[in-house]
């Protein structure tokens, strides 16, 4: 399995612990750090240079969208997966506009999170199936 270094960003410790436990089941994947807000996430990306950041949106200080934008400016090689409880077409579109390469609902973590991280590690985008059906179609 492909090697993958991951930074977890969420202001809730229980979420970070749960993600760490889930990701530990994947051979070759390593959680290299954690951050509790967007500012800390940007600092840790610069320090740790992870392959992927699993990023919540709603956090104190710098939110996940603004942190993603800053990460993309400083470390464009890093992929950001938005991992949130918020679902709307506007949120998905904003995530893509700021540079995120994936979007997964926390409620779908069991079925979609591993698939999303695999996709990002293969340099493709992953938007949960529920969001794809809602995004506008282009001809």
Strands of the sheet with 126-127, listed across from one edge: 29-35, 4-9, 52-55, 79-84, 102-105, 126-127
Instruction: Quote the longest CA-to-CA distance of the chain.
Output: 43
- pLDDT given for residue 88 in this prediction: 82
pLDDT in tens, 90-135: 899 999 999 999 999 998 877 799 999 999 999 999 987 665 554 4
- Structural domains in the chain plus CATH codes: 4-132 (3.40.50.2300)
Query: Helices marked H in the chain — which ranges?
Result: 13-23, 38-48, 64-74, 89-97, 109-121, 129-132
Distance CA 124, CA 132 (A): 15
pLDDT in tens, 36-73: 999 999 999 999 999 999 999 999 999 999 999 999 99
Paired tokens of 102: 């994936």
- pTM for the model stands at 0.91
């Amino acid at each position: 399995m492909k090697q993958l270094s991951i930074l977890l960003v969420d202001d809730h410790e229980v979420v970070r612990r749960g993600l760490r436990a889930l990701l530990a089941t994947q051979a070759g994947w390593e959680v290299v750090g954690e951050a509790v807000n967007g500012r800390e996430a940007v600092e840790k990306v610069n320090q740790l240079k992870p392959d992927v950041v699993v990023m919540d949106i709603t956090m104190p200080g710098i939110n996940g969208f603004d942190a993603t934008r800053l990460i993309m400016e400083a470390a464009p090689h890093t992929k950001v997966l938005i991992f949130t409880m918020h679902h709307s077409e506007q949120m998905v579109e904003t995530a893509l506009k700021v540079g995120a390469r994936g979007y997964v609902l926390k409620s779908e973590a069991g079925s979609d999170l591993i698939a999303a991280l695999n996709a990002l590690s293969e340099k493709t985008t992953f938007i949960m199936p529920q969001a794809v059906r809602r995004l506008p179609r282009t001809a």
